[in-house]
Amino acid sequence: MAKKTEDIEVRTIAVLVDNEPGVLARVIGLFSGRGYNIESLTVTEVDPREKFSRITIVTSGTPQILEQIKAQLDRLVPVQRVSDLSLDGPSVERELALVKVAGAGEKRVESLRIADIFRARVVDSSHDHFTFEMTGKSDKLDVFIDLMQPLGLVDVSRTGVVAISRGPAGL
């Protein structure tokens, strides 16, 4: 069936998995093997006692493909639960970035001023640079990084999106 570009949606999917060797490779292999997109992916253990890891994937596709992605994830043997945070109700999404800006003089002052507006923290500095830490929605991070570009941006490290549903219910 022809895929219309206007049907493409972006979704954030949370996957709770058994933290066993190869589980991340299984998830990534599923996406590359079946031609699905990964816009962002984060993973770490969230329950050391039960040995559960949580994978947060931002992916895109037509609604039909997105349903496929969830069904394919769900049938992986070590997958405990799959939740579509974009579809199943409101959720909170955050990303953390470390942004290094090098320079001196007015540009250096300007970078600090903008960082203040964006509520970024300075986590490392010297006479020649600042490293800012900033948390927020991904598009806010994009804007901040964009503004730092002319001010001596030299390095960016981002975590990718983590997300959780709003309200009292767990995954």
Partner 1 sequence: MAGRKWDEVPTLTGSEMLIKALRDQGVDVIFGYPGGAVLPIYDALFQQNDIQHILVRQEGGAVHAAEGYARSTGKVGVVLVTSGPGATNAVTGLTDALMDSVPVVCLTGQVPTHLIGNDAFQEADTTGITRPCTKHNYLIKDIADLPRIVHEAFYVARSGRPGPVVIDLPKDVLQNKSDAYIPPQDVRHRSYRPQTRAPEATIAEAVEMIAQAKRPVVYAGGGVINSGPKASELLTRFVHLLGVPCTNTLMGLGAFPGSDPQFLGMLGMHGTYEANLAMYNCDVMINIGARFDDRVTGRLDEFSPRSKKIHVDIDASSINKNVVVDLPVVGDAGTVLEDLLTAWKARKLELDQKALKAWWAQIDEWRARDCLKFEQKGQVIKPQYAIKRLYELTKDRAPYITTEVGQHQMWAAQYFKFEEPNHWMTSGGLGTMGYGMPAALGVQRAHPDALVIDIAGEASILMNIQELSCIAQYNLPVKVFIVNNQWMGMVRQWQELLHGGRYSESYTASLPDFVKLAESFHAVGIRCEKAEELDDKIIEMIETPKPVIFDCLVAKDENCFPMIPSGAAHYEMLLGPEDKAGKPISEEGMVLV
Window 14 to 43, contacts with partner 1 (CB under 8 A): 18, 21-22, 25-26, 29, 33
Distances (CA, A) of 137 to 8, 33, 81, 92, 162: 21, 29, 25, 9, 10
Q: Would you list the DSSP string of 72-118?
A: HHHTSTTEEEEEETTTSS-EEEEEEEEEEEE--THHHHHHHHHHHHT
Which lies closer to partner 1 via its Cβ, residue 78 or residue 160? 78
Which lies closer to partner 1 via its Cβ, residue 24 or residue 112? 24
Task: Single out the residue of 49, 77, 149, 169 in contact with partner 1 (rule: CB under 8 A).
Answer: 77
Closest distance to partner 1 from the beta carbon of 169 (Å): 20
Residues that bind partner 1 (CB under 8 A): 1, 18, 21-22, 25-26, 29, 33, 64, 67-68, 71-72, 74-75, 77-80
